[in-house]
Structure 1
Amino acid sequence: MRKLIVLAIIGLCAQLVDGSLGMAYGVTSTSLLLMFGIAPAAASASVHLAEVVTTAASGVSHIRFGNVDKGIVKKLIIPGSIGAFLGALFLGSIPGDIIKPYVSVFLLGLGFFVIYRFLFKKKVTVAQNQKNVNKRFFIPLGFIAGFFDATGGGGWGPIATPVLLSKQNIETRKVVGSVDTSEFAIAICSSLGFFISLGWSQINFMWVFALMIGGIIAAPIAAWLVKIIPSHLLGILVGGMIILTNVRTILSTFNIPSSATAIVYCVLIGFWIIGVIYVIANLKKYKIQYEEV
């Protein structure tokens, strides 16, 4: 019973971060299950099954608070669903750990770019429609994000969110809300793939239920936070999370000593906090400029 309560709390915290920053539910939840000795494929399957419910709750909440661009959601769903299904179906034979560090290096660079964009650019131009974003841009983005989400237990948000934030014409809260909302379809397709490849027997439904409860409670709170947090501050928060998530992958790949890892984290978190404080202190100087495209 104690484990179930802990899992529910972790599910709540993970969804609160995921729903407000567009990432981290899968990574956090999967890491916890792996700590409890669950096999990687079974852990990923359990998380994705829980996400079917938590992402539905998150999507409804984001739509209600006006954080969703339906055009982005439609363009991401199909390629993302295909990538997630294939990634789940062939999880056992895909060398995801070999590819992941290279993806993390790319995303780390995007994380620093996102920080730069929202910290040093006082004006950010946002298009009132997304027609100028080529549809072909979303096909590889959705497929790759969905594929890594299934193989690694989390990757939809950490990949899709920073790439979309790197575009100069999409509002921050709509990036977060749209990525979270589209994840519902990704969770369904990856779960179907896991059922085909693993069956029902390897999924711990009590743990899945505990993760669901925590996520459902956190979903509307996270969507509300996205609605009220200023775009530049939200961008800094997301950028910092992108950097920390991918630095973790890179450091673990090269087996960096724990003492050095701690120093790296302290330095990065220190600069992140300074950036957040700076933006809060200068909120009146930051502006979002809307224009027809």
Structure 2
Amino acid sequence: MLVLKLIIISYFAYLLVGEVTNGTLNFDSTFFIFMGVGFFAQVIDGALGMAYGVSCTTLLMNFGIPASLASASVHTSEIFTTGISGLSHIKFKNIDKGLFFKIVITGTLGAVLGAYLISDYFDGNIIKPYISAYLILLGCYIIYKGVANKSAQNKTVKKATLLALIGGFLDTIGGGGWGPIVTSNLLSQGKDPREAIGTVNTAEFFITYFATVIFVFFLGVKHWQIILGLITGGALAAPIGAYIASRINKRALFFMVGTLIILTSGYTLYKSVF
């Protein structure tokens, strides 16, 4: 993770030097707005295992940014936020190593394929309503499990590699969804919430890293103010979210995750339909 982060930081530093030299990099209130957005989105994402990509992409599209560029901007910023979040989850021992290696490879393959298709061929907005409807139902089930106190057992997860492949693909196609799809499904199968959230967040670094490589190759890097704002806010918040995940009550986690899925997916469904 550290080596990959060093490579991408060096490349972005090179691009930023060019922007500064050409006088095209300017800062105004947009930077600070998205710094705040990145901070709060990452606190939620680090603590509950989801919502950074969904919330940030939704906001960018409301600003009139096309779906492909919105997804590219969010995934570019997520390289930094998920890297810090992943290292923080490792420090707080929120990781299931066996599950991590099951999801990281196929998740990355799915994300790369999705990034390639949305960059050149596919409109990710087409599939969003169907995924949102599915997630609303899953969110209700997760709340039920938390209320019924059925989260005590840390069960073995079935079909984790296939789940990660689908989650990675839909994440880049829809501008977010790795956390809601993978974390929520792991929880619905009885996985310990702390380990599910920590493992999915750590694997997300690799998913976003290689998806961003595809985005940069096809679309380049645009909207620097937004990207830098999201990176700065998210980087500050990442350790806080990981700490919260390591301390919070399991039943409370189930309830908050389920509620968050219903709210974000409901809003996405509403925007897609109306």
| TM-score bracket for the superposition, by shorter chain length | 0.7 to 0.9
Cα separation, partners in 2 of 1:218 and 1:123, compared to 1, 3 Å:
closer
Cα separation, partners in 2 of 1:12 and 1:2, compared to 1, 3 Å:
same
Structure 1 residue 113 corresponds to structure 2 residue 141: yes
CA distance in structure 1 between the aligned counterparts of 2:78 and 2:248, rounded to whole angstroms: 24
Structure 1 residue 83 corresponds to structure 2 residue 107: no
Identity %: 42
Match for residue 207 of structure 2 among 162, 176, 186: 186
Per the normalisation by structure 2, the TM-score is 0.85
Q: Aligned ranges for residues 1-293 of structure 1 at < 5 Å?
A: 1-91=28-118, 92-121=120-149, 124-127=152-155, 132-134=156-158, 137-168=159-190, 170-200=191-221, 203-255=222-274
Listed one character per residue, the Cα deviations across residues 249-278 of structure 1 (whole Å, up to 9, x for unaligned) are 3333332xxxxxxxxxxxxxxxxxxxxxxx
Cα separation, partners in 2 of 1:146 and 1:122, compared to 1, 3 Å:
closer
Per the normalisation by structure 1, the TM-score is 0.80
Please state whether the residue corresponding to 2:153 is helix, strand or coil. Answer: strand
**Contact 2:31/2:226 (CA < 8 Å) preserved in 1?**
yes
1:70 Cα deviation from its structure 2 partner: 1.5
Listed one character per residue, the Cα deviations across residues 116-135 of structure 1 (whole Å, up to 9, x for unaligned) are 111123662225xxxx434x
**Contact 1:89/1:196 (CA < 8 Å) preserved in 2?**
no
1:186 Cα deviation from its structure 2 partner: 0.6
AA aligned to 1:133 is: V
1:196 Cα deviation from its structure 2 partner: 2.4
Structure 1 vs Structure 2 CA RMSD: 1.6
Q: What is residue 266 of structure 1 aligned with on the other side?
A: none
Listed one character per residue, the Cα deviations across residues 177-234 of structure 1 (whole Å, up to 9, x for unaligned) are 111111000111110111222134xx22332121111011101111111111111111
CA distance in structure 2 between the aligned counterparts of 1:146 and 1:248, rounded to whole angstroms: 21
CA distance in structure 1 between the aligned counterparts of 2:30 and 2:129, rounded to whole angstroms: 31
1:110 Cα deviation from its structure 2 partner: 1.3
